Structure 1
Amino acid sequence: MEFNITESIQILTKTPSVISNLLKDLPETWIKTNEGVDTWSPYDVVGHLIHGEKTDWIPRALIILGENEDKAFVPFDRFAQLKNSSSRTLKQLLAEFEELRTENIQKLQALSIDEQTLERKGIHPEFGEVTLKQLLATWVVHDLGHINQITRVMAKNYKIEVGPWTKYLAILRDKK
């Protein structure tokens, strides 16, 4: 399937409500559980998504589309949420994520992106040259991956309780 900006925006727009509907009003045992050492809880994932809204997707798109010759991206701190979100409630994080995503979708739509624009390049600190199309496609897949991660972590809360049905529940057999 080829990248489609309209369809991508549809998915990106839905992510905050999908995550909010999964997590709001759940007890902390569901939102703060993780898969073990050095893994993230659903709460941590929401904080990570907020950090991405502030420092990754749109800022990098603007670097690619900007007039500066320097197209190097600032490295992304994948663990910033562990310090930035720790004193906040999930309700606060979900509201901030929705607000930031709405703003970023509006910024994205204002860019009037066409096929030629999608081929413009920036410099990723690890990968080197990347296109705007790759960045935007990654944003969509990143969202979907974290939705998957949240549901996988939540499912593992009942890993023992499902008993022999574990055999048929792949979500419980997935590795971190």
Structure 2
Amino acid sequence: MSLTVLLDMDDTLLTNEMERFLPAYLQELSSHLQNRVPQDRMIQFLLAGTKAMVQNQLPGKTLEQAFDEVFYPGIGCAKNELSAQLADFYANAYPALKSVTSVRPDAVEFVEWAFSQGYRIAIATNPLFPKTAIEQRLAWAGLPVTKYPFALVTSFETFHFAKPNPAYFAEILGQLEWPEGPAVMVGNSLKEDIQPAQALGISTFHLQVEASQNGANAGNFSQLKTWLKKVAKSQPTQPQTPQALTALLSSAPAALQTLSAGLDTNRWNQRPKENEWSLGEIFCHLRDVDIEVTIPRTQRIQHEDTPFITAEVTDVWAEKRHYLQENPIRALEDFTQARTRLLLQLQQLGAADWSRPARHAIFGPTTLGELLAFTITHDQNHIRQVAKTMRWLKGE
């Protein structure tokens, strides 16, 4: 099992102090759009849209959609009216911001070393910018995506959660098909990178410019190499805290939307083999399990004293309910809506409610938190199944 390394970008791979970069970015963008939008109004609603992205908790809404809902009504323009001008900004004006940043040669050397070790590398930058802006900053760092085979680069088009939400890190792992081996997060910010990743049980390394004398999981790139060799042999774990469980439950529909987006929906009901489910059947299965098993079970445990929970046989539903004849797009939408209802239900729980007891027909004495952890394992297995089916459908 290979090691998956999640790397922050700004002030980790690229020297880019946001205290300098953000004002320069706002000035360049507002100047570029000033013939359409007053500068102060543009900045006001760009910051409001950014806040909406950071606060988004809905797995059915990308960060781009969360931003658009605030930004464009606020400035009084439709998105399509500014699309050409924004594209021109990122193509011709945004590159000038490179002067605010500087290359970290030790970062480039580290990335090349990590690839030589067979590690899988994802760029886990806060996805508050469009893909082109993030890829340009990677190029400024000396790490262009055309040269380095990153497994994933996060951006607002394809992500639903942002730092410091732990669901952001769960969504990364979901889009990476829930790696069987260990995953680690490397970043310079305790608040944005280290603490939320640790909340999911991800091993972390606090990157610093200078060598650290204080601990085994902090220091410079040289110390990071030594640390990675040790954690590469570790086994991943997932805590069952309310924060971790909520983040993991939130990430499943979000990851599935992005994973399936790269395939013509006309093929979503195509089976890899006669006895294997299509994407549509998987989505129907997840939807019905949430609606008919997970949500009612959670309600019973919440309101009854140690209820007896039966073991439902759900795999037979695909044939009995003729999932292949259903609309697979609607099935994924309905699963996302069902999961959102579950998450809203869980928001009402107190800390002690997650430990409320139940008796399960197979597992015996259990708790609400443990049963939700089983739901998460179920999600992860089907995310891997979706990814495998996608590869087959694409001929990979």
Match of 1:96 among 323, 326, 334: 334
Would you tell me which structure has more strand in proportion to its own residues? 2
Q: Is 2:349 aligned against 1:105? A: no
Residue number in structure 2 paired with 1:21? 258
Tell me which moved more, 95-104 or 64-73.
Answer: 64-73
**Residues 1:72 and 2:309 aligned together:** yes
Matched, 1:128 2:357: no
**CA shift at 1:92, angstroms?**
1.1
Change (3 A) 1:62 1:84: farther
- Larger relative contact order (CA 8 Å, sep ≥ 6): 1
Shift of 1:33: 3.7
Q: Aligned equivalents of 2:324 and 2:270: distance in 1? A: 14
Contact 2:306 2:356 in 1 (8 A): no
Task: Report how far residue 7 of structure 1 moved.
Answer: 2.2
Q: 2:297: which partner in 1?
A: 60
Which has the higher mean CA deviation after the structures are superposed, 78-87 or 146-155? 78-87
Shift of 1:30: 4.4
Once residues 103 and 58 of structure 1 are traced to their aligned partners in structure 2, the CA distance between those partners, rounded to angstroms, is: 8
Structure that is richer in helix per residue: 1
Q: CA deviation at 1:151?
A: 0.4
1:168 aligned residue:
none
Partners of 1:107 and 1:25 in 2: CA distance: 32
SS at match of 2:240: coil
Identify the residue that residue 42 of structure 1 maps to in structure 2.
Answer: 279
Task: Supply the distance in 2 between the matched residues of 1:10 and 1:145 (Cα, whole angstroms).
Answer: 17
The aligned amino acid for 1:18 is: A
Identity, in percent, stands at: 22
Is the aligned partner of 1:32 residue 2:265? no
Which ranges of structure 2 fall in alignment gaps of 5 or more residues? Answer: 1-236
Would you say the 8 A contact 1:60–1:73 is kept in 2? no
What residue in structure 2 maps to residue 87 of structure 1?
325
Q: TM-score, normalised by structure 1?
A: 0.74
Structure whose CA Rg is larger: 2
Verify: 1:3 aligned to 2:244, yes or no.
no
Is the Cα contact below 8 Å between 2:310 and 2:360 reproduced in 1?
yes
1:89 Cα offset (Å): 1.4
**CA distance in 2: counterparts of 1:4 and 1:70, whole angstroms:** 22
- 1:76-109, CA deviations, whole angstroms, 9 ceiling, x for partnerless residues? 4233244163432122112211111111110111
- From 131, 134, 146, give the equivalent of 2:382: 146
Separation in 2, partners of 1:27, 1:60: 35
Tell me if structure 2 keeps the 8 A contact 1:35–1:153.
yes
Structure 1 unaligned blocks of 5 or more: 163-176
What value does the CA root-mean-square deviation take over the aligned residues? Answer: 2.5
Q: In the TM superposition, what whole-angstrom CA distance separates every residue of 1:27-50 from its partner, at most 9, and x where no partner exists?
A: 357423434343212211100100
Partner secondary structure for residue 289 of structure 2: helix
Partner Cα distance (1:98, 1:117) in 2: 24
Cα shift readout 1:51-82 (whole Å, capped 9, x = no counterpart): 11111222112222323564233624233244
Distance 1:73 1:111 in 2: 23
Alignment deviations for residues 115-161 of structure 1 (CA, whole Å, 9 cap, x no partner): x4333322323333222121111122211111111101222345xx6
